[in-house]
Amino acid sequence: MECAMSRCPAPLILELFIYPQMAAAGEGGCVGGSRSDLSVFITTKTKRSPCPPQTLDAFFVSAPSPFLGPRSMVSFQDVRENRSPKSFYSPYDFRENGDDEWDEYFHQPEKKRRLSVDQVQFLEKSFNLENKLEPERKVQLAKDLGLQPRQIAIWFQNRRARCKSKQLEKDFDALQDSYNSLKAEYDNLLNAKDKLKAEVNNLTGKLLLKEKYMGHAAESSELNPLSEEPPQKPISDLVSEGEVSKVSIPAFTHEEISSAKSGTFDSDSPHYNDGIHSSVLETGVTSNVFEPEQSDLSQDEEENFGNSLLPPPHIFPKLEDIDYSDDSPANPCNFGFPVEDHAALWCWSY
DNA sequence: TTGTGTTTTATTGCCTCC
DNA sequence: GGAGGCAATAAAACACAA
């Protein structure tokens, strides 16, 4: 381990040896340990002396010895018990005591020494009052605690750094909590949105089926004027009256769907013998609505198809993509498709 | 006892303010 | 240009498990 004083360039050491009495002449033997203080005694042009400040500070405080490194710390206990440290004395005193002491003090390993619990408590109290350190306060604290003013300054600096990082941790935690709650809220809204979207799609599918069904019913009644089927409400009315979900939906066989694929319904189908479907479902669409007898759909497609009664998603445009500025704006159910192309909706592109 | 992680003390370089 | 603050970092001191 390097000796504290050995870090000082020789000329500086010599200068320090010349001026120690000036340092001792400071008020109460303590003129503070700031870097500016050094400039009073040391003719150095650099802002920071290459000599460790703790070594230099030692000259400004009435410590037993400026050369003791860690020994220069006066215990807080000593201060409280009014055991005043010995007044400053120069390196020459060591010379007088012989080379052994000289060597001992100059080659003393420089060790950090933690402040005592009392010292730290005292500093904490002071820090809580004011976390910035004015020069006068620094000197006073140094006196009270028997430390170098620079040590006080360093302690406050490190304490401010700790305080700041703790505050950052707190802020981070608060932000994280805030983020988590917002995310949970967002997820809930997303779920609600998905449910609503599914509901809209479901109703849309029912509407289209109903429209298809009614179209064929009208065709049948034209062919069969004796039909006594009462006139149907327009779908738009059903929509506005909220009755869509109550609309009777015909169940189509897969063959019918297949024929729809090709653009024609088989009016000879047994389900259409009188223009009205023989098996009408009331509300709700079950998975057997499109019960295929022989499916050419993949299993997944069948499941999706059967469960939702909806054409595959790529058939229906997304609601937000629908262009209502169509030629027939009165009919919001065509979703931007030309009316004559409705049949094409059923042209699954498998 | 030793290795390892954390805390504390201290240094260094840069920056801002006066 | 000096004083002092701050961030980054080094290194000693300390705590603790294996």
Which residues are paired to A250 by β-bridges? A280
User: Cα separation of A59 and A53, whole Å?
Assistant: 10
Annotated domain spans of chain A:
117-184
Considering the domain A117-184, what is its CATH architecture? Orthogonal Bundle (1.10)
Residue A306 pLDDT level (bands cut at 50, 70, 90): very low
Asked whether residue A48's C-beta has any atom of DNA/RNA strand B within 7 A, the reply is yes
Is the pTM value of this prediction over 0.85?
A: no
Chain A window 265-304: residues with CB closer than 7 Å to nucleic chain C are none
Indicate the pLDDT class of residue A293, thresholds 50, 70 and 90.
very low
As to burial, measured by CB atoms within 10 angstroms (0-12 exposed, 13-18 middle, 19+ buried), residue A27 is exposed
Residue that has been written with the tokens 């054409």 in this structure: A311
8 Å CB contact between A32 and A139: yes
What are the backbone dihedrals phi and psi of residue A180, each rounded to the nearest 5 degrees, phi first? -60, -45
Distance of alpha carbon A155 from alpha carbon A176, whole angstroms: 31
Residue A72 CA, nucleotide C12 C1', distance (Å):
17
Question: Is A120 within 7 A of strand B by CB distance?
Answer: yes
Q: What tokens appear for A85 in the block?
A: 């440290």
More confident residue, A345 or A273: A273
For residue range A17-29, list pLDDT tens digits in order.
Answer: 323 222 322 322 2
Beta bridge partners of residue A280, listed in sequence order: A250
A249 membership: H or E segment, kind and range:
strand A249-250
Average pLDDT on A61-70 reads: 36
Cβ of A157 near strand B (under 7 Å)? The reply is yes
In strand B, which positions have an atom below 7 A from any protein CB? 8-15
Of all nucleotides, the one whose C1′ comes closest to residue A2's CA is C11
Q: Is the CB of A111 under 7 A from strand C?
A: yes
Asked whether residue A236, judged by its CB, lies under 7 Å from any atom of the DNA or RNA strand C, the reply is no
Tell me whether residue A348 is exposed, middle or buried, using C-beta atoms within 10 angstroms of its C-beta: 0 to 12, 13 to 18, 19 or more.
Answer: middle
What is the nearest nucleotide to A48, using C1' and CA? B12
Q: Each residue of A171-184: pLDDT tens digit?
A: 988 999 999 999 99
Protein CB footprint (7 Å) on chain C nucleotides: 2-9, 11-14
What secondary structure does DSSP assign to A281-305, as a single string? EPSS--TTTT--SS--S-HHHHHHH
